[in-house]
Amino acid sequence: MQPVNIPFNKPYMTGRELWYIAQAHANGHLAGDGAFTKKCHSWLEKRTGADTALLTHSCTAALEIAALLIDIKPGDEIIMPSYTFVSTANAFVLRGGVPVFVDIRPDTLNINEGLIEQAITPRTKAIVPVHYAGVPCEMDVIMDIAHRHNLFVIEDAAQGIMSTYNGKPLGSIGHFGCLSFHETKNIISGEGGALLVNDESLALRAEIIREKGTNRSQFFRGQVDKYTWCDVGSSYLPGELIAAFLWAQMEAADEITTKRLDIWNKYHASFVGLEQRGLVRRPIVPDNATHNAHMYYLLLSDLATRTRFIEFLKEKKISSVFHYVPLHSAPAGLRLGRFNEALTITDAMSEKLVRLPLWIGLEEYQDEVIKTIYSFFEDAK
């Protein structure tokens, strides 16, 4: 028998997405901010404790709104990890901001909070911690630095929905949190995202920027008798069909997280043996955190081993992937960003990390994936 292809990701659908889309269709309100968008906003506000949640087209769009909200001007500096997706930097670069890259911690692969303070200059405007793999950054330390230096904190919580740090949901701790509902994330709508605004005084302006720089949201609430151009802005709100799809996912968020955690925990228990033999390092989740099983990765001994590992799995029809090319070493990062120290942990980890398939439905094939990974190391002896 031909072995089945085991993809790296397969978007999970709850079965109710089309039903809610049909309802949105029947409601006849297809633009943004209809009934389904409101349900999603309330759910996010309730589950995260954010003052205001606003759906956007993507996490990228949410980061762009945040950059507008903190008035990034050419030359302003934004401290962030280099080990992240391009949007973390691009949202600020679009406004002329300069990403200042700081190295990551070897345990969680999150920004090393101990290196942030030395990267601060008079031009520094914000810190953007990225919660890699849905595992939290050291937010108490980061918030303390931000308060002492009068900086904004924008959490890139693209991977962080349903995770907590000291009991607080990710995205609800900084001034802003940015979530992604891209189909590779846990809770999805194809493309999609949300901005969490945790400071009440910034919420009204966030609404205006998201609605093309107008006070249309206030107009719909009956707070003003006409709407008009008030500020800079763009069109950042998704239509109702997307919100309807997303609502089906939000309703199932606990179930989705539990199922993903079961798969994550099985991988984690299975690879103890490989870790004990020094062949891999497994992910590390700090005691003060709960995570959402966004990602399962292994750290291999070096780049050559990782290349052989991915190739070996591919021959057995199992898809595994690596990421990221660190931003400080990418062509645009070299041109548009800055870094003071050598980013040695970032460079080392980015060569060793491999992500394993993790999607609901993998349960049926997971034993085979684990067995194949063990056989790679047996063959390698």
CA distance 179 to 61: 10
Nearest approach, Cβ of 233 to ligand PLP (angstroms)? 18
Q: Which of 87, 163, 164, 305 binds ligand PLP (CB under 6 A)?
A: 87
CA distance 179 to 160: 7
Query: Given the complex with ligand PLP, which of 196 and 274 has the nearer CB atom?
Result: 196
Please, what is the end-to-end C-alpha distance for the chain in angstroms? 28
Q: Which of 83, 85, 264, 376 binds ligand PLP (CB under 6 A)?
A: 85
Quick count: other Cβ atoms within 10 Å of Cβ 280?
22
Q: Quick check: 104 binds ligand PLP (CB under 6 A)?
A: no
Residue 3 is encoded by which pair of tokens?
């072995």
The phi, psi pair for 149, rounded to 5°, reads -105, 5
Query: Given the complex with ligand PLP, which of 183 and 368 has the nearer CB atom?
Result: 183
Query: Given the complex with ligand PLP, which of 175 and 216 has the nearer CB atom?
Result: 175
CB distance 346 to 81 below 8 Å: yes
Quick count: other Cβ atoms within 10 Å of Cβ 89?
28
CB distance 114 to 140 below 8 Å: no
Query: Given the complex with ligand PLP, which of 236 and 271 has the nearer CB atom?
Result: 236
CA distance 318 to 91: 34
Nearest approach, Cβ of 86 to ligand PLP (angstroms)? 8
Residue type, 211: E
Tell whether the torsion through CA atoms of 196, 141, 166 and 89 is positive or negative: positive
Q: Quick check: 210 binds ligand PLP (CB under 6 A)?
A: no
CA distance 223 to 256: 38
Q: Quick check: 180 binds ligand PLP (CB under 6 A)?
A: yes
Query: Given the complex with ligand PLP, which of 177 and 357 has the nearer CB atom?
Result: 177
CB distance 168 to 142 below 8 Å: no
In 3D, which of 44, 21, 324 has the Cα closest to residue 190? Answer: 21
Q: Quick check: 193 binds ligand PLP (CB under 6 A)?
A: yes
CA distance 353 to 365: 22
Query: Given the complex with ligand PLP, which of 130 and 274 has the nearer CB atom?
Result: 130
Instruction: Name the residue with tokens 């990228």.
Output: 60
Q: Quick check: 163 binds ligand PLP (CB under 6 A)?
A: no
Q: Quick check: 60 binds ligand PLP (CB under 6 A)?
A: yes
**Choices 4-12, 58-66, 134-142, 205-213 (CB under 6 A): range interacting with ligand PLP:** 58-66
Q: Quick check: 142 binds ligand PLP (CB under 6 A)?
A: no
Instruction: Name the residue with tokens 């692969």.
Output: 109
Q: Quick check: 137 binds ligand PLP (CB under 6 A)?
A: no
Nearest approach, Cβ of 56 to ligand PLP (angstroms)? 8
Nearest approach, Cβ of 108 to ligand PLP (angstroms)? 13
Residues in CB range of 117: below 8 A, 6 or more apart: 145, 149
Q: Quick check: 281 binds ligand PLP (CB under 6 A)?
A: no
Q: Quick check: 82 binds ligand PLP (CB under 6 A)?
A: no
CA dihedral 260, 291, 108, 112 (to 10 degrees): 140
Nearest approach, Cβ of 141 to ligand PLP (angstroms)? 20
Query: Given the complex with ligand PLP, which of 209 and 373 has the nearer CB atom?
Result: 209
Query: Given the complex with ligand PLP, which of 113 and 155 has the nearer CB atom?
Result: 155
**Choices 25-33, 55-63, 116-124, 222-230 (CB under 6 A): range interacting with ligand PLP:** 55-63
Q: Which of 84, 214, 217, 372 binds ligand PLP (CB under 6 A)?
A: 84
CA dihedral 112, 118, 124, 128 (to 10 degrees): 0
Number of residues that bind ligand PLP (CB under 6 A): 14
Nearest approach, Cβ of 311 to ligand PLP (angstroms)? 25
Residue 154's SS3 state is strand
**Choices 21-29, 65-73, 83-91, 342-350 (CB under 6 A): range interacting with ligand PLP:** 83-91
**Choices 141-149, 151-159, 270-278, 356-364 (CB under 6 A): range interacting with ligand PLP:** 151-159
For residue 355, the surrounding DSSP H or E stretch is: strand 353-355
Q: Which residues bind ligand PLP (CB under 6 A)?
A: 58-60, 84-85, 87-88, 130, 156, 158-159, 180, 182, 193
